Structure 1
Amino acid sequence: MALVLVTGASSGLGRNTANALAGEGHDVVVHVRNSARLTDVGDTGRWKGVITGDLAEPDEIRDVARQASEFGRFDAVIHNAGVMYRPEDVTVNTVAPYMLTALMDKPARLIYLSSSMHRTGSTDLRRLAPGTASYDDTKLWVTTLALALASRWEGTSSHAVDPGWVPTRMGGRGAPDDLTAGHQTQAWLATHPDVTPSTGGYWYHQQTQTPHPASQDEEFQAQLLQALESHTGVRLD
């Protein structure tokens, strides 16, 4: 069985992903902003462990990485946490996944939550400054991060996932996509023994799609990694 970390797992897609993995017998560590967000009586008994921290705050991102290190090397890390149309979009959606990836031991598999809206994101990395990036920008950048890592670390695969427009708190009750299908791909990518392509995929409902061209451009990938390093002071090996 796999040891898996799921960020942003107090509700919605993250919670559904964590539940699915735990139901299959995997050891699941969940991250939540604070423990008060776990309101179900059976929550703590379901997980291998719980990590807390606000991914909108760089110091707390570092502490989340420290807490994660106490569990050893993960087989898979699912960077699910996200916010939409808030000043902290860029920190939670792009900076936190980058910092956690750089600060934690390299897992066997990395999965980053993207969105179809990444296709209208900007490649203007000056928008990394807090409060200046759109949601679409942040999803383009985290998709680019996922695909940049696909060829950088031997022994670690990396994928981006579009879960669809699903009826979660973020997506809204009227969202037309299938909620169950929304979490199945990331759970599958985290644990299935035979994923093709083995790394570098942009996935929607267990099928690969073509992402924004910039996310596959090696020059833009390098520019993004350099900009994130400069922005955070954290270097990606």
Structure 2
Amino acid sequence: MPVALVTGGSAGLGRALVHTLGARGWTVVTDGRDHARLAAAVGTLPAVVPVVGDVADPAHVEALAREVGWLGRLDLLVHNASTLGPLPLRPLRETSTEELLDVWRVNAAAPVALTRAVLPQLRTASGVVVSLSSDAAVEHYETWGAYAAGKAALDHLTLTLAAEEDLTAYAVDPGDMRTAMHQDAFPGEDISDRPLPETVVPQLLALLAARPPSGRYRAASFAQVPA
């Protein structure tokens, strides 16, 4: 039975991916900061192991690695948990150094720490690392500076780990989605024209099935596989 670790499984793309992998027979370890929200999202799924905590907390990273260690292998690690930073989004001139660091701890440093913690299990299974990126990592949008810089760093760190550790790793831009985080970025605006995160999951599965060389990819570039 394949094993996945998907951070940020209580909402959005993380939740959709956890449900799909669970339905396909995977054992999935996932997390979220809010106990009630995580339980409501995945608590009824029999093959899912929910772990409450913040990915930027070293003790939580250890807890996730411990769960993976008990399972003995890790076929897929998905760095999905992230933060926009202070809301409403603001120009960099109004963003403090500590606020920048808080965003980068979650969006860039935490995925490196987690990957490092589960390297033995990734190697055992010849596992794949997927870091959810953004077009903001390569474009320059006003008020998105803190988040965008964190995602750009995540891209680079993910692919550097691939080179250093002989891993297969992908930085993946999933495109705009109709999620709570996206709504937070555009308060008061109608985002109903954005696709639901469930529509991105088949694209991610197609990427994993194709298993191209490590690199940065757009999810929409991959033909969808049957759900």
- The answer to whether the Cα contact below 8 Å between 1:164 and 1:177 also exists between their aligned partners in 2 is no
Deviations 1:70-114 (CA, angstroms, capped at 9, x unpaired): 222201111111111233321111111010011113421000010
- Aligned to 2:19, what secondary structure does the other structure show? helix
In structure 2, relative to structure 1, the CA distance for the partners of 1:5 and 1:149 (3 Å cut) is same
Q: Pick the aligned partner of 1:104 from 109, 118, 121.
A: 118
Counterpart check, 1:177 vs 2:189: no
- The answer to whether the Cα contact below 8 Å between 1:30 and 1:47 also exists between their aligned partners in 2 is no
Shift of 1:162: 0.8
For 2:96, the equivalent position in structure 1 comes to none
For 1:45, the equivalent position in structure 2 comes to 45
Counterpart-to-counterpart distance in 2, 1:207 and 1:45 = 28
Counterpart-to-counterpart distance in 2, 1:182 and 1:26 = 18
What code does the residue aligned with 2:194 have? D
Counterpart-to-counterpart distance in 1, 2:76 and 2:41 = 26
For 2:89, the equivalent position in structure 1 comes to none
For 2:90, the equivalent position in structure 1 comes to none
RMSD: 2.5
Counterpart-to-counterpart distance in 1, 2:74 and 2:131 = 15
Counterpart-to-counterpart distance in 1, 2:19 and 2:67 = 21
**TM-score computed with the length of structure 1 as normaliser:** 0.71
In structure 2, relative to structure 1, the CA distance for the partners of 1:138 and 1:66 (3 Å cut) is same
- Aligned to 2:176, what secondary structure does the other structure show? coil
In structure 2, relative to structure 1, the CA distance for the partners of 1:176 and 1:148 (3 Å cut) is farther
- Aligned to 2:83, what secondary structure does the other structure show? coil
* Count of aligned pairs between the two proteins: 193
**TM-score computed with the length of structure 2 as normaliser:** 0.74
In structure 2, relative to structure 1, the CA distance for the partners of 1:139 and 1:97 (3 Å cut) is same
% identity of equivalent residues? 30
For 1:143, the equivalent position in structure 2 comes to 155
Deviations 1:7-36 (CA, angstroms, capped at 9, x unpaired): 100111100011111122222222222432
For 1:57, the equivalent position in structure 2 comes to 57
Could you tell me which runs of 5 or more consecutive residues in structure 2 were left unpaired when the two chains were aligned. Answer: 87-98, 184-189
Counterpart check, 1:66 vs 2:83: no
- Aligned to 1:161, what secondary structure does the other structure show? strand
In structure 2, relative to structure 1, the CA distance for the partners of 1:41 and 1:19 (3 Å cut) is closer
- The answer to whether the Cα contact below 8 Å between 2:39 and 2:50 also exists between their aligned partners in 1 is no
Deviations 1:20-59 (CA, angstroms, capped at 9, x unpaired): 1112222222222243222438724343322222123333
In structure 2, relative to structure 1, the CA distance for the partners of 1:55 and 1:98 (3 Å cut) is same
Counterpart-to-counterpart distance in 2, 1:80 and 1:202 = 15
- Aligned to 1:30, what secondary structure does the other structure show? strand
Q: Pick the aligned partner of 2:174 from 163, 170, 175.
A: 163
